[in-house]
Amino acid sequence: MIKAVLFDLDGTLADTAPDLGGAVNILLEQEGRPQKTLEILRPYTSQGVRGLLKAGFGIDATHSEYDDLAQRFLDIYIQRLCLETRLFDGIPELLDRLEAMDLGWGIVTNKRMRFTDPLVELLQLSPRTNCVVSGDTVAEAKPSPLPILHACRLLECRPESTLYVGDDRRDIVAGNAAGCITVAVSYGYLGDSGPLHTWGADLIIDHPAELADYLVKQAGQR
């Protein structure tokens, strides 16, 4: 029944926390503030600039300095997109398995296109992935289901035959709203969205190999 797999990017396919956290710490240093450990910053990575400025500076979008700090953070980050970013252990093998099973796969992220496209290329995923949907590809970002539905159309696959895999509650909310089978990954960043088992995912995995095993099992039941 499963025809395709869609992945969130940050915290699901790739460990981007070192480079994003590094950008926050450069900004903190510029502002004369103490740096934060990666352990503190890491859980907020999937929430992008909003989450990282919250973790680093304790501010949200209503703060008078937010827009300036956000722009400066993004300017720093784009210069260090893939210095330390790597695919999570087990992801290369999982992608190999998907392709061997003739399952299409794609990326649906809230990262904006100006960051997503070069990062996907630097990770050497561009020749392999069947679609990339960024946070500004369609009118709304996750937790809206629109980006996932757009990816399903690009893959010519019905949502109910598609897995959506993510590490943040909004990933699972978006995937469920789109009508996909949803998978939450415990190895990701998880944010401040409450316990993983409360997100409403159809499946929780601790390692990408578990998803490969699940797909093989599902294929054997056809």
The CA-CA-CA angle for residues 94, 97, 102, to 5°, reads 130
At 24, list the tokens: 């926050």
The domain in which residue 145 lies consists of: 4-15+85-220
Helix (H, G, I), strand (E, B) or coil at 183: strand
CATH of the domain at 100: 3.40.50.1000
Helix (H) or strand (E) holding 216: helix 208-220
Q: What is the pLDDT of residues 138-148, one digit of tens each?
A: 999 999 999 99
Does residue 139 sit in the same domain as residue 174?
A: yes
User: Which entry of 10, 15, 167, 171 is annotated as an active-site residue?
Assistant: 10
At 87, list the tokens: 């695919």
Global confidence as pTM: 0.95
User: Of 35, 62, 80, at which residue does a domain stop?
Assistant: 80
Kindly provide the b/e burial profile for residues 99-132, where b requires at least 16 CB atoms within 10 angstroms of the residue's own CB. Answer: eeeebbbbbbbbbbeebbeebbeebebeeebbbb
Helix (H, G, I), strand (E, B) or coil at 29: helix
Q: What is the pLDDT of residues 40-86, one digit of tens each?
A: 999 999 888 999 999 999 999 999 999 999 999 999 999 999 999 99
Is pLDDT above 80 for 222?
no
Average pLDDT over residues 182-210: 95
Does residue 27 sit in the same domain as residue 10?
A: no
* Segments of the chain assigned E as strands: 4-7, 14-15, 86-87, 104-108, 131-133, 162-166, 181-185, 203-205
Does residue 129 sit in the same domain as residue 53?
A: no
Q: What is the dihedral of CA 194, 112, 97, 173, to 10 degrees?
A: 30
User: Of 61, 80, 99, at which residue does a domain stop?
Assistant: 80
Is pLDDT above 80 for 221?
no
User: Which entry of 8, 167, 168, 171 is annotated as an active-site residue?
Assistant: 8
Kindly provide the b/e burial profile for residues 18-56, where b requires at least 16 CB atoms within 10 angstroms of the residue's own CB. Answer: bbbbbbbbbbbeeeeeebbebeebbbbbbbbbebbbbbb
At 48, list the tokens: 């992008």
- Per-residue pLDDT at 144: 98
Answer yes or no: are the C-beta atoms of 207 and 187 closer than 8 Å. yes
- Per-residue pLDDT at 212: 95
Does residue 162 sit in the same domain as residue 148?
A: yes
Does residue 30 sit in the same domain as residue 121?
A: no
Does residue 21 sit in the same domain as residue 35?
A: yes
The structural domain count of the chain equals 2
Using the 8-state DSSP alphabet, how is residue 184 labeled? E
Q: Judge whether 96 counts as a catalytic residue.
A: no
At 209, list the tokens: 């190999």
At 122, list the tokens: 């630097």
Q: Judge whether 10 counts as a catalytic residue.
A: yes
